[in-house]
Amino acid sequence: MKQESIRVAQVMGMMYNGGVEAVVMNYYRAIDRSRVQFDFFVDETSAFPQRPEIEKLGGRCFLVPPYARPIRYLRALVRAFRQNGYSIVHAQINTMGVFPLFAAWLAGVPVRICHNHSTAHRGEGKKSLLKALLRPFSRLFATQCFACGDVAARWMYGDRFVNRGCATVLPNAIDLSQFLFSAEHRAAVRQEIGADRNTLVVGHIGRFLFPKNHPFLLQIFRALLTVRPNSLLMLAGEGDLYASCKALAQELGIESRVRFLGVRRDAYRLYSAMDVFCLPSFYEGLPVVMVEALANGLTCVVSDKVTRELHAYSVLQLSLDADALLWAKALSLATRSAEAPEALAHAFDIHQNAKRLQAFYIDQSCQAASQRFNPSA
């Protein structure tokens, strides 16, 4: 008799085209779905562009009230967790994970995973305050604590907890073969954006939100045009600050040299068209776009607030206190390779990491089943 797959409840909050969504979808595509299946719990106000693919792959989608309505949110989750009899709930929403994990605890779910993908910055005001208030409770209802990298783990769970080996680092892995350099893609995309052979193309992929620091990126690019006039800035993504950034580009007089591409499903093509990747973020967990860029052979010029797990590769780190011209000069001197760093594959290959996550889910589910049938074990 064919064994039924384990169903894991993935609590996602909002789903648009962000990095966390990309990471979870990467694992979902790579995992053996005959053994482990994902059900997605998503804010009902989300755009949720991944839904058709999820349902095609056998996953189920549950739309729940936003966590801004905590009573309705908790009731919906408790009811769904009980009705579906999950043995594992995996909360992918950073400090907000305390709420779905509380619901999982109320529903009697034995394995409750808190997963942190980020840190914080004081510039986000109320959002940063909320993170600070919730962070001490992150482990309260969790049986397992995950993070995308060491810095994200220490920020969320504390140095002592991490030093004791109590946190699991699950990297933001990718299918590296999809992001290898392609001369064909380079020629096609550069023609699309109006870049000739001598144009320096600076690339950035990310949602237009505060942490990504797009206004400073536009300032950097304006400075770059004084050093390398034949340059283009290619920006892919959407978000709340999209319109204001377009307006700022016009105000700075650089709009003719900036390509706002919006949401793209072909990021793997865009990287090949770039000459250098720039990420002046206020904070990051472990940016999946940076892994993708490095896999394509790009040098990444990043802020000193970006986590250091990737700094062994082609990464140049600069302070956000440095002026835009210094950043611009670094971009102008960056070189790219046609090959991904070999060590990158060992750490960030999605197939190997998906096997690791799958083994963890199966082991935890078996332990939970054993305790259910033998409470004294």
Tens digits of per-residue pLDDT, 9-63?
A: 999 999 998 889 999 999 999 999 999 999 999 999 999 999 999 999 999 999 9
The pairing of beta strand 36-43 with beta strand 111-116:
unpaired
For residue 231, tell me if it sits in a domain.
yes
Q: What is the pTM of this model?
A: 0.88
Same domain, 239 and 315: yes
User: Domain residues for 159?
Assistant: 6-173+349-373
Mean pLDDT score, 290-310:
90
Q: Determine the pLDDT at residue 310.
A: 77
For residue 1, tell me if it sits in a domain.
no
Same domain, 168 and 188: no
Tens digits of per-residue pLDDT, 153-187?
A: 999 999 999 999 999 999 999 999 999 999 999 99
Q: How many domains, in total, are found in the chain?
A: 2
Same domain, 305 and 215: yes
For residue 195, tell me if it sits in a domain.
yes
- What is the SS3 assignment for 296? coil
Q: Please report which confidence band the pLDDT of residue 373 belongs to, taking 50, 70 and 90 as the band edges.
A: low
Tens digits of per-residue pLDDT, 196-237?
A: 999 999 999 999 999 999 999 999 999 999 999 999 999 999
Tens digits of per-residue pLDDT, 247-268?
A: 999 999 999 999 999 999 899 9
Domain with residue 123: its CATH number is 3.40.50.2000
Same domain, 270 and 356: no
Asked if residue 131 has pLDDT above 50, the reply is yes
CA distance 38 to 367: 19
Same domain, 336 and 368: no
Residue 259: how many CA atoms within 13 Å on its side-chain side? 23
CA distance 39 to 143: 20
41: left (phi over 0), alpha (psi -120 to 50) or beta: beta
Same domain, 306 and 255: yes
Q: Determine the pLDDT at residue 290.
A: 93
DSSP character string of 33-71: TTTEEEEEEEETTS--TTHHHHHHTT-EEEEE--TTSHH
Same domain, 195 and 93: no
Residue spans of beta strands (DSSP E) within the chain? 6-13, 36-43, 60-64, 88-91, 111-116, 144-147, 167-169, 200-205, 231-236, 258-262, 276-279, 300-303, 315-318
Q: Which of 108, 81, 300, 140 is nearest to 204 (CA)?
A: 300
Asked if residue 100 has pLDDT above 60, the reply is yes
Mean pLDDT score, 105-120:
95
Same domain, 147 and 183: no
34, 5 contact by CB (below 8 A): yes
Same domain, 48 and 181: no
CA distance 82 to 79: 5
Compute CA distances 69 → 61, 83, 87, 305, whole Å.
Answer: 20, 21, 26, 32
Q: Please report which confidence band the pLDDT of residue 342 belongs to, taking 50, 70 and 90 as the band edges.
A: confident
Same domain, 337 and 368: no
CA distance 227 to 215: 19
Asked if residue 345 has pLDDT above 90, the reply is no
Ranges 204-213, 268-277, 333-342: which has the least confidence: 333-342
Tens digits of per-residue pLDDT, 305-332?
A: 887 777 778 899 999 999 999 999 999 9
Q: Which strands form 258-262's sheet, in the order they lie side by side?
A: 258-262, 231-236, 200-205, 276-279, 300-303, 315-318
Same domain, 233 and 354: no
Same domain, 312 and 263: yes
The secondary element (H helix, E strand) that includes residue 105 is helix 98-106
DSSP character string of 234-261: EEE---TTHHHHHHHHHHTT-GGGEEEE
Q: Determine the pLDDT at residue 3.
A: 61
